[in-house]
Structure 1
Amino acid sequence: MGNEPLTGSSARCITKNEEQSCGRGTSPQNITVILPAYNEEVSIGSIVILSKYYADHVIVVDDGSSDRTAALARKAGAEVIVHETNTGKGGALKTGFAAAEGADIIVTLDSDGQHNPGEIPKLVAPILKGEADMVNGSRYLNGHSTDTPAYRRIGQTILDRATIMNSGIKITDSQSGFRAFAASTKDLFRFNAQGMAIESEMLADAGKAGLHIAEVEIGVRYDVDCSTVNPIKHGLGVLVMVLKDVEFNRPLYYLTIPGMFFGIGGLFMGAKFLQDFSVGKSLFFGPTMLMILLIVVGSFMALTGILLHSMSAILRESRAS
């Protein structure tokens, strides 16, 4: 497939059942690129022009920019939707997905130049072949490269582990903004997360929906990262959001299992105290209170996790019906 555009009669539309055509014959796939942008006047023009070479339609969502992002995106040929105030990346993506009417495949990438639009064909290929509903562009599919800053490697590993626990999807780059989606998935995402936590939230939604997800390796440029957000603050914010999501989506992991460990630890201490007491040894106030605390807190966490698990199962069934 190389770097040729994936529009035109050579593109074949296949459903998840590879033996069944989706009925569009040899008509072209409509590939729509969504670019959430906030004060990206330096790079937005070139990203739009490059994206147009590989897509039928480019939508730029100017999320409250104070510079010329919107004007330059229009001049480059994009459809531009302007938010009067900054709503965050989740809000920008929500607007873009809603505007992507008629798209067969939706591609998202960052507007700051970190991603190479020339890799769009690589991302949409698994969807065109019917092998995936969603494709994640991964910077780390073959491990962290040595030129990746150390703080990014550490933070990324923590966020990946938390996202995997929440979504149930084994992914190597949970924070990638370079992704492709089959049009059938566009209404599955909540777009509730603030800031950059949207990447993890979308994976959680994809996991709950049972989407087939593939990963392809992508390149990235760190020399154009113009983010004004402190990376430590950003990472902690994403982690807190993921853990909150885990609390409801996977309460057995987040509450019940730790609660059982606390409770068992307390019971073990209690058995040891009873053994000591039976042979005439004294009980000390501190360890005894710790034992009681572990049993009470552990029991509460375990029961709360079970209740939340039951509630989330009921909600999922009600939504499905």
Structure 2
Amino acid sequence: MPEVLEEVERWLADRSWPAADRPLGRLLERKRASGATVSVVLPALDEEATVGAIVEVIRRDLIEGLPFPLVDELVVVDSGSSDRTAEVAAKAGARVVHRDSILPRLPAVPGKGEVLWRSLLATTGDIVCFVDADLRDFSSAFVSGIVGPLLTEPDVQFVKAMYDRPLGDAPGQGGRVTELVARPLLNLHWPRLAGFVQPLGGEYAVRRSLLERLPFPVGYGVELGLLVDALHTVGLDALAQVDVGVRLHRHQDGQALGRMAAAIYRTAQLRLSRGHSPGHRRGYPQVRPALTQFERGPEGFVARTYAVDTEERPPMLEIEEYAIRRVA
């Protein structure tokens, strides 16, 4: 597929930028001229150790002390923390919303994608920027960098952050599920997305007008699902990525990574079954939505089987409460 490789190379040249390309002053000028509003959402579950510092940096650099704020809303959506996440986030200056208080008629299910989906009802910004709440040594460039192209490039609708992900002292070894599962899937089935450095990264900014049209996998498959569906909906040239440096965060153990990988594979398989990949027709064979893992016990290995996330929320435009609010 030489034509696809040429398209990816062109995209990398045209739609991949360093954060420094768009200084904050320029972004403020463009924001004022466009009238666009920006919401930052931090999905959080037991993140009291890190969420406060992230909120403080965003408030200090992108809200306070500026001629006018780059960020209009800073919302932490707590998905049922058992620690002081909500208290710490509120004290640092975020508006804290509990997942279950959003769209209460529809019982919430566990999962990051569920929280991101519900956050569309808890925010109003024209641009929605998602940031994981477990980041350490956080820089506000994670927000301004990925919001920037949406303020300066009218044709861009979806921007992912790219960064180095060290694992301990090993540079670039933190994205294990990305390298072993997501990148091979994308290269094989959606080769136009092969240029994304961090396809599973939790930091990305999207125009609300696109987000509200996309289905949301409820679990760990949400990032891959949104990226593939965005490609299918608006095309490659509406997608971009920005280099924001280094991402430091806590790492999951091997079994947790296995469950994440299964959810991501299942998300990809569902999209293949819908014909969202060149060369694949609808009716792509279904797979078993479960993962069996093994732990050694006193009498040998014990099998534990976990359900793989299969549920997806519909595009938010199909939700009555959202449609009513949008009209209002």
Shorter-chain TM-score above 0.5: yes
Amino acid at match of 2:131: L
1:112/1:225 contact within 8 Å kept: no
After the TM superposition, which residues 1-321 of structure 1 pair with which residues of structure 2 at under 5 Å, given as runs?
A: 5=24, 10-12=28-30, 26=33, 28-52=35-59, 53-54=61-62, 55-84=71-100, 87-101=110-124, 103-113=125-135, 116-130=139-153, 131-139=155-163, 147-149=171-173, 152-153=175-176, 155-163=178-186, 165-166=189-190, 168-170=192-194, 171-191=196-216, 193-211=217-235, 212-222=238-248, 224-225=250-251, 230-250=256-276, 253-254=279-280
1:7/1:29 contact within 8 Å kept: no
> How far, CA to CA, are the matches of 2:74 and 2:230 in structure 1?
24
Closer/same/farther in 2, CA of residues 186 and 153 from structure 1, 3 Å limit: closer
> How far, CA to CA, are the matches of 1:26 and 1:78 in structure 2?
26
> How far, CA to CA, are the matches of 2:173 and 2:206 in structure 1?
29
> How far, CA to CA, are the matches of 1:226 and 1:46 in structure 2?
21
Closer/same/farther in 2, CA of residues 34 and 200 from structure 1, 3 Å limit: same
> 1:267-294 CA distances to partner (integer Å, 9 max, x unpaired)?
xxxxxxxxxxxxxxxxxxxxxxxxxxxx
Instruction: Note the residue ranges of structure 2 that are not aligned, 5 or more in a row.
Output: 1-18, 63-70, 101-107, 286-328
> What is the match of residue 290 of structure 1?
none
> Under a length normalisation based on structure 1, what TM-score does the superposition of the two structures give?
0.64
> How far, CA to CA, are the matches of 1:230 and 1:121 in structure 2?
31
> How far, CA to CA, are the matches of 2:164 and 2:226 in structure 1?
19
Amino acid at match of 1:57: E
Alpha-carbon shift at residue 244 of structure 1 (Å): 2.7
> How far, CA to CA, are the matches of 1:227 and 1:51 in structure 2?
29
1:32/1:56 contact within 8 Å kept: yes
Closer/same/farther in 2, CA of residues 81 and 11 from structure 1, 3 Å limit: same
> What is the match of residue 9 of structure 2?
none
Alpha-carbon shift at residue 5 of structure 1 (Å): 4.9
Instruction: Note the residue ranges of structure 1 that are not aligned, 5 or more in a row.
Output: 14-24, 260-321
2:271/2:277 contact within 8 Å kept: no
1:135/1:214 contact within 8 Å kept: yes
Amino acid at match of 1:203: L
Closer/same/farther in 2, CA of residues 50 and 140 from structure 1, 3 Å limit: closer
Alpha-carbon shift at residue 167 of structure 1 (Å): 8.4
> Under a length normalisation based on structure 2, what TM-score does the superposition of the two structures give?
0.63
Closer/same/farther in 2, CA of residues 161 and 196 from structure 1, 3 Å limit: same
Which is higher, the Rg of structure 1 or of structure 2? 1
> What is the match of residue 316 of structure 1?
none
Closer/same/farther in 2, CA of residues 43 and 227 from structure 1, 3 Å limit: farther
> How far, CA to CA, are the matches of 1:228 and 1:97 in structure 2?
32
Amino acid at match of 1:234: M
> How far, CA to CA, are the matches of 1:201 and 1:108 in structure 2?
15
Alpha-carbon shift at residue 6 of structure 1 (Å): 6.3
